[in-house]
Amino acid sequence: MTVSWGAKDPDEVRHYSYSWIGRLNGAEIDSAALELKRGAVVLSSVSNTLTSISCTISGGKPCERVELISRIVTTAGETLEETILLSIEPSAWSQIGPSTATKRQIIEMAYEECSLAGYEFNVTPEELFSGLRKLDALMAEWRATDKDLNYNAPEIFGGGDLEDMSGIPDATISGVAISLAMAIAPAMGKAMGQETRQRLASGMAAIRSICARVRESGWGRSTIAGAGNRHWTHRSPFMPVGRRRC
């Protein structure tokens, strides 16, 4: 199996974690190891709990695709392995704040919001994956309407994993979860209460504030440099044109 962690800027130091609880079948982690299979990143603070593994990642080359192997032995004597992918991408998002939530956590928060309107909180795996598809669709819609939260979208719609890192700033999680709950509730025949709508307004204010921040960018190719600006064969250190795209 393969999961994806949210992209990291080369200069950023980020803490990541992965929950094995969905594959433990009631057992616990007896021992764990995290191996760097491909990439130039540095792993530190590698640790595990009874149900998850975590580490801190720094460095990396711009636009490289890092591959990690998480391997555990359970208290039931079973050996499990998971491939974890991580993209190293130059990003202005590294200055926005931490991003630590998985997609599962956001979806579960959305169902919890529905439970406040009278829904019995007992979510099936099918409902979780339905919520994942709705989250993918919601984030794609927002990205097209200038509310890009750096969501860790799957390569194919609906092809992600519940344990994938969401990639969105923690400051926006509440607004995203309540918005997702608004999309889920009609299928249950439920409607959100006034209190939930008020908290949604507060969450959306935080989202709009983050999306309205001016992003770092280089000079346009048509920018007039002036007669005193010398010609550089490969790149100009004084008037860089845009950011490198991966």
Domain boundary among 91, 124, 158: 91
**Residue 232 within any structural domain of the chain:** no
HSE of 3 in the Cβ direction (CA atoms, 13 Å)? 22
Helices and strands (H, E) in the chain, number of each type: 4, 7
Domain holding 25, by residue range, is 1-91
**What is the pLDDT at residue 229?**
60
Spatial distance between the Cα atoms of 107 and 113, rounded to a whole number of angstroms: 10
**Residue 228 within any structural domain of the chain:** no
**Residue 229 within any structural domain of the chain:** no
**What is the pLDDT at residue 243?**
52
Question: Does the structure show a pLDDT above 90 at 68?
Answer: yes
Q: What is the DSSP string of 117-131?
A: TT------HHHHHHH
**Residue 110 within any structural domain of the chain:** yes
The reply to whether 100 and 196 lie within a common domain is: yes
The number of distinct structural domains making up the chain is: 2
**What is the pLDDT at residue 242?**
53
**Residue 219 within any structural domain of the chain:** no
Domain boundary among 68, 91, 114: 91
The reply to whether 52 and 156 lie within a common domain is: no
The reply to whether 119 and 137 lie within a common domain is: yes
The reply to whether 106 and 208 lie within a common domain is: yes
**What is the pLDDT at residue 220?**
57
The reply to whether 84 and 111 lie within a common domain is: no
Lowest mean pLDDT among 34-38, 53-57, 187-191: 187-191
Spatial distance between the Cα atoms of 32 and 213, rounded to a whole number of angstroms: 40
**Residue 221 within any structural domain of the chain:** no
Domain boundary among 40, 62, 91: 91
The reply to whether 85 and 104 lie within a common domain is: no
The reply to whether 60 and 135 lie within a common domain is: no
Spatial distance between the Cα atoms of 116 and 181, rounded to a whole number of angstroms: 11
The reply to whether 183 and 83 lie within a common domain is: no
**Residue 118 within any structural domain of the chain:** yes
HSE of 123 in the Cβ direction (CA atoms, 13 Å)? 20
The reply to whether 76 and 141 lie within a common domain is: no
The reply to whether 77 and 13 lie within a common domain is: yes
The reply to whether 109 and 198 lie within a common domain is: yes
Structure tokens, 240: 């860089």
The more confident residue out of 6 and 45 is 45
Name the 3-class secondary structure at 85.
strand
**What is the pLDDT at residue 165?**
87
Q: What is the CATH number of the domain that holds 85?
A: 2.60.40.10
Short-list 98, 95, 90, 139, CA closest to 245: 90
**What is the pLDDT at residue 214?**
46
Contact (Cβ atoms closer than 8 angstroms) between residue 88 and residue 8: yes
Contact (Cβ atoms closer than 8 angstroms) between residue 87 and residue 246: yes
Mean pLDDT of 62-68: 94
Query: Is beta strand 2-8 parallel, antiparallel or unpaired with respect to 79-88?
Result: parallel
**What is the pLDDT at residue 141?**
94
Backbone angles phi, psi at 111, to 5 degrees: -70, -30
**Residue 194 within any structural domain of the chain:** yes
Length of the chain in terms of residues written: 246
Residue 36 pLDDT level (bands cut at 50, 70, 90): very high
The reply to whether 121 and 187 lie within a common domain is: yes
Mean pLDDT of 201-208: 90
Q: Which of 80-84, 90-94, 113-117, 182-186 has the highest mean pLDDT?
A: 80-84
- What DSSP character marks residue 214? P
Q: What is the CATH number of the domain that holds 159?
A: 1.10.3230.20
